[in-house]
Chain A
Amino acid sequence: NAGVMQNPRHLVRRRGQEARLRCSPMKGHSHVYWYRQLPEEGLKFMVYLQKENIIDESGMPKERFSAEFPKEGPSILRIQQVVRGDSAAYFCASSPQTDSNQPQHFGDGTRLSIL
């Protein structure tokens, strides 16, 4: 499967725990985007990364959320001290270059549930 791979597909955490969501972009893609989909809502942009760099994090909550895309390995979205309001589907998308004409390819998402 050469598509965008996200894991886990489902993640359950208790309040106060940490959640780590992983995303492997399509082969040859060096641009990764994270989006959050709250229940009954559309997707909201969170962060845009290239290898080892955060390019735009204007959609990230100021506290508890962080993202990285290391030189080797998948991109990680990390949520510390999770709260009920973090329950959502988190989608990763990748593209081969920064070009608004270039469509992004999405993974199947990680559905995060906070108990």
Chain B
Amino acid sequence: GNSVTQMEGPVTLSEEAFLTINCTYTATGYPSLFWYVQYPGEGLQLLLKATKADDKGSNKGFEATYRKETTSFHLEKGSVQVSDSAVYFCALSEYNQGGKLIFGQGTELSVKP
């Protein structure tokens, strides 16, 4: 079945450091890929998405490229801020499965000043 695997956290970085959170997936078809962010006590917010191979999603300085050959969708940011501290979820959705999201286990990011 479909699945998403993320690197384990927590990830602790200093402000302005480079961020990479790895995400790989297994899917039977051609999924859409998403990164969601969850701040403490809140629901999930869409951060970025990519719907086909080689697409690059980007938002708020974050970006991720849909790599079909490596089945990956790694999240990157060149310079993190304290306000980026949150839990990040990678997810996939397949058209023939009604749009339901399959999530990774989440990666907690803590950015220190």
A4 within 8 A of B: yes
User: Range of interface residues on chain B?
Assistant: 20 to 34
The stretch from B61-69, B72-80, B91-99 touching chain A is B91-99
A13–chain B nearest beta-carbon distance, Å: 20
Give the chain A neighbours of B46 by CB distance below 8 A. Answer: 103-105
CB contact under 8 A between A42 and B104, given known A100-B94, A102-B99 = yes
Closest to B100 in A: A45
Q: Which residues of A contact B105 (CB under 8 A)?
A: 41-42
- The proximity string for A residues 51-84 relative to B, scoring 1 for CB distances below 8 Å and 0 otherwise, is 0000110010000000000000000000000000
Q: Which residues of B contact A93 (CB under 8 A)?
A: 44, 101
> How many residue pairs between the two chains, A and B, have CB atoms under 8 Å in the bound complex?
70
Most central of B31, B51, B103, B105 by chain A CB within 10 Å: B103
Point out the residues of chain B lying under 8 angstroms from A1, CB to CB: none
* Contact, CB under 8 Å: B98 / A48: yes
Interface-centre pick from B31, B101, B104 (highest chain A CB count, 10 A): B101
- Say whether A43 contacts B44, CB under 8 Å: yes
Complex Cα–Cα for A92 and B39 (A): 16
